[in-house]
């Protein structure tokens, strides 16, 4: 009987923590391309993403979400991985715009990353070139539902399959990662 009560309390506490996390999301914007243009209007009074509990932060150590807006070059990907690994768990990655999905306009460039999820676990993609503020907010609402339901984030996959991610990273960078 006592174990059942403790289990129920643990479930309630876990649900409360997930609810709190889903309503207080701190985002590090890693603006690598033209996608950064749509972030500013999303923060202004017309769309006001802060009313949804989504706040920008200055450092990876404060962030829950790494929002990557735009294409990634080889050099930039190194910095993104470095920022991601500084974040504390639970952490989430949101790919913003077609550049993070398939390289966008630069898909055939030798220096552009086409599939971000080969190098970092992406929890959510917001498609478009450029996604409008409404799409950004809707994407974050989807992420909030995932967090609230307790759905595990990609960071768990990154820890479990770190060798696979690191092998993909080494294919690009050699041993300099």
Q: How many residues does the chain have?
A: 177
Per the structure block, which two tokens stand in for 175? 């041993």
- Domain 27-173 belongs to what topology? Rossmann fold (3.40.50)
The Cα 162–Cα 66 span in angstroms is 18
Q: pLDDT tens string for the chain (177 positions)?
A: 566 766 777 778 888 888 888 888 899 988 877 777 777 778 778 888 888 888 989 999 999 999 998 888 888 888 999 999 999 989 999 988 887 877 777 778 888 888 888 999 999 998 888 888 888 899 999 999 999 998 888 999 999 999 999 999 888 888 765
DSSP letter assigned to residue 60: G
Per the structure block, which two tokens stand in for 121? 């676990």
> What is the structure's pLDDT at 177?
58
- What is the pTM (predicted TM-score) of this model? 0.86
- Classify the C-alpha dihedral 21-26-32-37 as positive or negative: positive
Strands across the sheet containing 124-126: 54-56, 25-31, 65-69, 92-96, 124-126
Per the structure block, which two tokens stand in for 60? 């990876």
Tokens 């909030």, residue? 144
Beta strands in the chain (DSSP E): 25-31, 54-56, 65-69, 92-96, 124-126
Give the residue extent of every domain in the chain: 27-173
């Amino acid at each position: 009987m006592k174990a059942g009560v403790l289990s129920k309390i643990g479930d309630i506490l876990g649900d409360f923590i997930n609810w709190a996390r889903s309503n207080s999301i701190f985002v590090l914007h890693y603006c690598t391309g033209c996608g950064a243009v749509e972030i500013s209007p999303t923060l202004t009074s017309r769309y006001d993403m802060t009313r949804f509990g989504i706040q920008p932060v200055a450092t990876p150590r404060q962030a829950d979400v790494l929002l990557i807006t735009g294409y990634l070059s080889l050099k930039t990907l190194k910095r993104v991985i470095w920022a991601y690994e500084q974040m504390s768990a639970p952490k989430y990655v949101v790919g913003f715009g077609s550049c993070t999905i398939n390289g966008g306009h630069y898909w055939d460039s030798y220096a552009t990353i086409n599939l971000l999820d080969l190098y970092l676990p992406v929890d959510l993609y917001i498609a478009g070139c450029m996604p409008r503020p409404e799409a950004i907010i809707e994407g974050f609402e989807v992420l909030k539902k995932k967090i609230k339901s307790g759905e595990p984030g990609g960071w768990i996959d990154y820890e479990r399959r770190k060798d696979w991610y690191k092998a993909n990273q080494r294919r690009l960078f050699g041993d300099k990662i």
